[in-house]
């Protein structure tokens, strides 16, 4: 685990896009170009990013929006999912957001929802309409 560097941008986008594609949702969340355009803005304005690296390769990342107490993004490359990378990134999030935090995910993303629930997060609510519904999870302080 290490802090994000500008040189990580392309690898971060690759992990993010690859992980989203592996979820199997019927509606793509964003194109790779959308994600590439978003990263510099988010890093400059909101995110603190932690990179998970193995043998010099970026295999996952965590993006925390501290001002919102939000775990904004947590993605692991499909090749290493289930290896503990996501759990390590989640522990990093809880260490950074000690007062508790929230996140959102798509209701149909069962893998992510199960991952967060196994780590003590609780579904707070569903919001939005059928085209943009989000599952909002919370982690209370000390969780």
- Report the pLDDT value the prediction gives residue 25, as an integer from 0 to 100: 57
The SS3 assignment for 128 reads: coil
Mean pLDDT: which of 8-12, 93-97, 126-130 is highest? 93-97
- Report the pLDDT value the prediction gives residue 61, as an integer from 0 to 100: 93
- Comparison of pLDDT for 134 and 142, the residue scoring more: 134
- Report the pLDDT value the prediction gives residue 94, as an integer from 0 to 100: 95
**Which two structure tokens, joined as six digits, stand for 116?**
């967060």
The SS3 assignment for 118 reads: helix
Cα-Cα end-to-end distance for the chain: 22
H-helix segments, the chain: 9-23, 32-45, 85-96, 110-118
What residue spans define the domains of the chain?
2-140
pLDDT at 131 over 90: no
- Report the pLDDT value the prediction gives residue 27, as an integer from 0 to 100: 58
Question: Domain 2-140 belongs to what architecture?
Answer: 3-Layer(aba) Sandwich (3.40)
pLDDT at 22 over 90: no
Q: For the stretch 14-45, what's the b/e string if a residue is b when 16 or more beta carbons lie within 10 angstroms of its beta carbon?
A: ebbbebbeebeeeeeeeeeeebbeebeeebee
The SS3 assignment for 73 reads: strand
pLDDT at 85 over 70: yes
How would you classify the pairing of strands 57-65 and 134-140?
Answer: unpaired
């Amino acid at each position: 685990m290490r802090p994000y560097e500008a040189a990580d941008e392309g690898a971060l986008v690759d992990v993010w896009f690859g992980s989203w594609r592996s979820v199997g949702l019927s509606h793509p969340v964003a194109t790779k170009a959308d994600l590439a355009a978003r990263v510099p803005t988010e890093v400059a304005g909101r995110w603190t990013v932690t990179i998970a690296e193995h043998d010099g390769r970026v295999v996952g990342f965590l993006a925390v929006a501290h001002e919102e107490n939000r775990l904004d993004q947590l993605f692991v490359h499909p090749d290493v999912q289930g290896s503990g990378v996501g759990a390590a990134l989640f522990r990093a999030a809880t260490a950074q957001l000690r007062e508790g935090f929230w996140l959102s995910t798509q209701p149909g993303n069962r893998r992510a929802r199960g991952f967060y629930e196994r780590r003590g997060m609780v579904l707070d609510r569903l919001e939005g309409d059928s085209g943009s519904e989000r599952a909002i999870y919370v982690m209370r302080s000390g969780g």
